[in-house]
Amino acid sequence: MKYCIGVDLGGTNTAVGLIDLDSKRIISKASTKTRAPRSAREIALDIRRLIHSLCDGEKIGMENLLWVGVATPGIVKNGVVVRATNLGWVNVPLAAIIGEVTSLPSFIANDANAAAYAEAQWGVGSGELSLIAVTLGTGVGGGIVIDGKIWEGVNGHAAEVGHMVVETDGRQCACGKRGCLETYCSVRALTAEAVRMMKRYPDSILASLAGGVPERMNGLIPFEAKRRGDAAGGLVVDEFISYLATGVANIINVFQPAVVCIGGGISGEGEDLIGPLRERLKRATFGSSGASTRVELAKYKNEAGIIGAGLLGLMNERTNKKSRVEMVVEGFRAVGDFISAEPYGSGHINDTRLVKTRDAEGKIHDYILQRINKNVFKRPDLLMGNYVAVTKFIREKIEREGGDPEREVINVIPTREGKDFLVDESGDFWRLLLFVSDSLSFDKVERPEQFYDSAVAFGNFQYMLRDFPAETLYETIPNFHNTPDRYRQLMEAVEKDAVGRLAEVGAEVEFARARREFTETLERAHAEGRLPLRVTHNDTKLNNILFDRETGGALCVIDLDTIMPGYSVNDFGDSIRFGATTALEDETDLTKVNFDISLYELYVKGFIEGAAGGLTAGELELLPIGAIMMTLECGMRFLTDYLSGDVYFRVHRPSHNLDRARNQFKLVADMESRLDEMKAIVRKYL
């Protein structure tokens, strides 16, 4: 695990968070009164005490902390707080003091900049190269993040968006100028205008909500009044949003960032704020077709300072030295210079990142970088041999048929030496893949058409590789779908009863024993020549298909680490196992677990259509058996792991694997009872 400390230092309170960089969350927090004005060393000692307390509470040694980041009020430049009025500091080398007291690398940033950085890295700007934050609080603050780095300006005053002039000779600002955005769009300004309107319209809902008392007015009341149809409240809110739109439009027209993020207390008004703001910006911003700035509400509220501060160490790595990942990327023939590499996707096996580069003309290029898990895949070199052979074979067919080889198949980027993977100094294996543009994936079926589209995609995968010599592929995980061997492993676990659980699973063990002969069905069919060896994917989940963002159609099959020789009916069956069921695979209420014959039929139709006549009569006949076989095999694997002490599958409760096994066996029984229907459906679509 990778841990760091984020500190949100305020004039009143100081909050400290222990951050897990892998799971992207604060796992523990503590706070204390700042009691400003005090010396930076005194406050640093308080921070050290809180850090030790958090680490002790989570049983994490200080040696496991990578760095400390601090978000502080005031003007910050090069690790020095140039001026922070509410802390009473001038030219305080805070980063050096924190580093000395904690004995950890230490970084500081202005609190608004840190909040912007949190949104840019883990919030609404995640995966983008630029974000500008506008914070609507007591004042109006901001933060600018460009190419993954905070922009402080030559003197540390950058991103003072609140002091952008939006009205010539307008309202007087505390900074000494007139017409600043802050005088129209801060909570203070919004409240003052609401009080003025309340006095002008004493019978309004606006006045009623504040009880006619100016001191009771706040920035939320005008929005509530407008929601109730109040004209006075509407005037206040409309003026507020009008000036905010002017300020945000100026930001967009000058910077053209990927995201403008609206935060602060008023952002809690949600759609009542952001909806009208976006409408006004359509008329006020410069631009035409193509990419445009997204205007979003902030993801993080009170935790933005802690998270942004904690991530300052990552920014330092990018700014001051080439990271390990950057050096790896430079070993491949990627187009352009490295910009960033951020965690990507929901996979649990390989370390996956979205890499961005910029070429000489300023164009951004996207790639997927993966570190192959050597604990799971013992021979990454042979795995990549499979990967390249299959993708090259598919690419050549797509080119001959006039398709788009950049989007309809995964493209492996070679290293500078012309190899298909790179081995770094630590002995880790890396590959770089071309990112499939304008695509998206789904972790679960959101509509039946997606299940059908996935069937067509995996059926087409079989069709494209129907004449590929499957026997030439390396078996990445030996006996992965060898059901008789899975049965053997279960019986060994029964014999050992390693953790004393056998007594409670007698019914489940007997269920498997009753199907011992059935487990041999596919192997016998292969031996008899009725079931040919094919190139199989072996992980036919929905999220291993990319869909076109615009049309919604399936583009290509991804996650090819487990391609190896196997049976097409296993790929088919694995999809049915998780897709044609009425419940998740760990549902404990078995009355909710049923085989959905309509979804099965939808998948059969799509798979046969996608295969386009490329399956043999024996394969088609055995499709229903493949569905039952894969469900039974998975249930046996869950039961084996339960008897062995939960050593393979990740569990979240003591009976998790047993619940999964019972769930799968229930599906098996349902399928067996409807086997004749399943066979009839296959015949229907031949």
Q: What is the pLDDT of residues 625-650, one digit of tens each?
A: 999 999 999 999 999 999 999 888 87
Task: Kindly report the length of the chain.
Answer: 686
**Superfamily of domain 124-298 in the CATH hierarchy:** ATPase, nucleotide binding domain (3.30.420.40)
Quote the pLDDT of residue 1.
62
Distance CA 438, CA 546 (A): 10
Quote the pLDDT of residue 675.
97
What 3-state DSSP class applies to 426? coil
Res. 384: pLDDT tops 50: yes
Q: Are 269 and 287 in contact (CB under 8 A)?
A: no
Q: Are 475 and 557 in contact (CB under 8 A)?
A: no
Averaged pLDDT score across all residues of the chain: 91
The full set of domain ranges for the chain reads 1-118+301-321, 124-298, 335-434, 439-684
- Work out the angle between the directed axes of helices 675-684 and 623-644 (0-180°, nearest 10): 140
Domains 1-118+301-321 and 124-298 are alike in CATH topology: yes
Long-range contacts of 443-450 (CB under 8 A, 24+ apart): 443/346, 443/542, 443/543, 444/542, 445/542, 445/579, 448/599, 448/602, 449/552, 450/542, 450/547
Stretch 440-461: mean pLDDT: 86
Stretch 545-571: mean pLDDT: 92
Quote the pLDDT of residue 322.
62
CA separation (Å) from 626 to 159, 444, 521, 622, 662?
Answer: 60, 22, 9, 6, 19
What is the distance between the terminal CA atoms of the chain, rounded to a whole angstrom? 52
The fold of 335-434 is: Phosphorylase Kinase; domain 1 (3.30.200)
Quote the pLDDT of residue 14.
95
Buried b / exposed e over 429-449, threshold 16 CB at 10 Å, is bbbbbbbbeebebeeebeeee
Stretch 132-153: mean pLDDT: 89
Stretch 419-433: mean pLDDT: 92
Omega of the bond leading into 37 within 30 degrees of 0 (cis): yes
Res. 127: pLDDT tops 80: no
Q: Are 121 and 109 in contact (CB under 8 A)?
A: no
Q: How far is CA 514 from the centre of its chain?
A: 43
Distance CA 571, CA 275 (A): 45
pTM of the model: 0.58
Q: What is the pLDDT of residues 30-82, one digit of tens each?
A: 999 999 899 999 999 999 999 999 999 999 988 889 999 999 988 998 899 99
Q: Are 300 and 310 in contact (CB under 8 A)?
A: no
Distance CA 276, CA 510 (A): 64
Quote the pLDDT of residue 515.
96
Buried b / exposed e over 172-206, threshold 16 CB at 10 Å, is ebeeeeebbbbbbbbbbbbbebbbebbeebeebbb
Res. 318: pLDDT tops 70: no
Q: Are 576 and 478 in contact (CB under 8 A)?
A: no
Quote the pLDDT of residue 148.
80
Q: Sort 362 into a burial class: Cβ within 10 Å, 0-12 / 13-18 / 19+.
A: exposed
CA dihedral 599, 605, 607, 610 (to 10 degrees): -140
What would be the CATH architecture of the domain defined by 1-118+301-321? 2-Layer Sandwich (3.30)
Q: Sort 339 into a burial class: Cβ within 10 Å, 0-12 / 13-18 / 19+.
A: middle
- Of 114, 103, 131, residue with least CA distance to 9: 114
Quote the pLDDT of residue 289.
45
Quote the pLDDT of residue 652.
82
The fold of 439-684 is: Aminoglycoside 3'-phosphotransferase; Chain: A, domain 2 (3.90.1200)
Quote the pLDDT of residue 288.
46
Quote the pLDDT of residue 2.
84
Distance CA 439, CA 433 (A): 14
Q: Are 459 and 609 in contact (CB under 8 A)?
A: yes
Sign of the torsion formed by the C-alpha atoms of 227, 228, 233 and 239: positive
Q: Sort 355 into a burial class: Cβ within 10 Å, 0-12 / 13-18 / 19+.
A: buried
Q: What is the pLDDT of residues 339-377, one digit of tens each?
A: 888 877 766 578 888 999 998 888 999 999 999 988 778
Quote the pLDDT of residue 447.
80
**Beta strand segments in 344-415, E:** 351-358, 364-372, 412-413
Quote the pLDDT of residue 348.
59
